[in-house]
Structure 1
Amino acid sequence: MFSLADSTPTWAMEHWPLLVQASISNQYSQMKAVAAMVQTWDWHRVNVIFEDGTDLAFGRVILNLLEPLQEVGADISHLVPLPSLIASSFSTELLSLKGDQCRVFVVHTSLNLATYLFHKAQEMKKKEKDYVWIVTNTITGFLHSFDVTTIRSMQGVLGVMNNFPESSLRFSEFKKRFQKKFSVDYPEERNNEPGISAVEAYDDALWAVALTHALSRRNMPFTEKSKLYSDKISFVDFNGLTGRVQFVKRKLAPSHVFGIVNVIGKSYRELGIWSEGSGFSKSTDDNDVYDSSMQHLGHVYWPGEPLHTPKGWALPNTYLWILANWCTY
Structure 2
Amino acid sequence: MGIESSYPDIREFPHLVITRKELNQLKKQNHGVFVIHATSESGYRLYQNAKTMNMTGDGNAWITTNSITDLFHSVSPKKLKSMQGIVGTKTYFPENSSQFQDFRKRFSSKFRNIYPDEEFDEPGIFASQAYDAMRDLLYRNNIFNLFQRISAADFANWNVAPSRAVEIVNVIGRNYQSGYRTQRLGFSETTDDNALYHTSMKILKEVLWPAQPWHTERQRRILAGRSEPLRVGVPADSLFRQFVELKNDSKPNATSYGGFSIKVFKEAMKLAYVNKDLRYNYTPYYGDDYDGLVKQIALGI
Q: TM bucket by the smaller chain?
A: 0.5 to 0.7
TM-aligned CA distance change 1:207 to 1:44, over 3 Å: farther
Rounded Cα–Cα distance in structure 1 between residues aligned with 2:166 and 2:8: 20
2:75 corresponding residue in structure 1: 146
* Segment of structure 1 superposing worse, 161-170 or 309-318: 309-318
1:188 corresponding residue in structure 2: 117
The Cα offsets for residues 218-265 of structure 1, whole Å up to 9 and x where unpaired, read as xxxxxxxxxxxxxx64343679995138xxxxxxxxx84201111112
> Which letter maps to 2:171?
V
TM-aligned CA distance change 1:283 to 1:143, over 3 Å: same
Rounded Cα–Cα distance in structure 1 between residues aligned with 2:155 and 2:126: 14
TM-aligned CA distance change 1:161 to 1:147, over 3 Å: same
Q: Which structure 1 segments of 5+ residues have no match?
A: 1-42, 53-79, 215-231, 246-254
The answer (yes or no) to whether the contact 2:34–2:62 under 8 Å persists in 1 is: yes
> Which letter maps to 2:47?
F
Q: Secondary structure at the match of 2:28?
A: coil
Q: What is the TM-score with the length of structure 2 in the denominator?
A: 0.62
Q: Which one scores higher on RCO, CA 8 angstroms, separation ≥ 6? A: 1
Rounded Cα–Cα distance in structure 2 between residues aligned with 1:160 and 1:317: 29
1:25 corresponding residue in structure 2: none
Is 1:207 aligned to residue 142 of structure 2?
Answer: no
1:259 to 160, 164, 167: 167
The answer (yes or no) to whether the contact 1:144–1:267 under 8 Å persists in 2 is: no
TM-aligned CA distance change 1:186 to 1:320, over 3 Å: same
> Which letter maps to 2:130?
A
Over the aligned positions, Cα root-mean-square deviation in angstroms equals: 3.6
Q: CA deviation at 1:281?
A: 1.4
Q: CA deviation at 1:165?
A: 0.9
Rounded Cα–Cα distance in structure 1 between residues aligned with 2:279 and 2:193: 56
Q: Secondary structure at the match of 1:258?
A: strand
1:198 corresponding residue in structure 2: 127
Rounded Cα–Cα distance in structure 2 between residues aligned with 1:324 and 1:275: 42
TM-aligned CA distance change 1:145 to 1:283, over 3 Å: same
Q: Secondary structure at the match of 2:57?
A: coil
1:269 corresponding residue in structure 2: 177
2:229 corresponding residue in structure 1: 319
1:221-240 equivalent positions in 2, closer than 5 A: 233-236=143-146
Over the matched positions of the two proteins, sequence identity in percent amounts to: 32
Q: Secondary structure at the match of 2:27?
A: coil
> Which letter maps to 1:45?
S
Rounded Cα–Cα distance in structure 2 between residues aligned with 1:300 and 1:81: 34
> Which letter maps to 1:319?
P
1:243 corresponding residue in structure 2: 155
TM-aligned CA distance change 1:256 to 1:48, over 3 Å: farther
2:196 to 265, 285, 289: 289
Q: CA deviation at 1:180?
A: 0.6
The answer (yes or no) to whether the contact 1:257–1:273 under 8 Å persists in 2 is: yes
Rounded Cα–Cα distance in structure 1 between residues aligned with 2:185 and 2:40: 30
The answer (yes or no) to whether the contact 1:156–1:301 under 8 Å persists in 2 is: no
2:40 corresponding residue in structure 1: 111
TM-aligned CA distance change 1:134 to 1:46, over 3 Å: farther
Q: Secondary structure at the match of 2:190?
A: coil
The answer (yes or no) to whether the contact 1:119–1:150 under 8 Å persists in 2 is: no
> Which letter maps to 2:110?
K
The answer (yes or no) to whether the contact 2:154–2:164 under 8 Å persists in 1 is: no
Q: Secondary structure at the match of 2:206?
A: coil
Q: What is the TM-score with the length of structure 1 in the denominator?
A: 0.57
Rounded Cα–Cα distance in structure 1 between residues aligned with 2:30 and 2:192: 40
The Cα offsets for residues 265-313 of structure 1, whole Å up to 9 and x where unpaired, read as 212122x21023332112334553322222212425659x655675496
The answer (yes or no) to whether the contact 2:78–2:174 under 8 Å persists in 1 is: no
The answer (yes or no) to whether the contact 1:170–1:241 under 8 Å persists in 2 is: no
TM-aligned CA distance change 1:300 to 1:284, over 3 Å: closer
2:186 corresponding residue in structure 1: 279
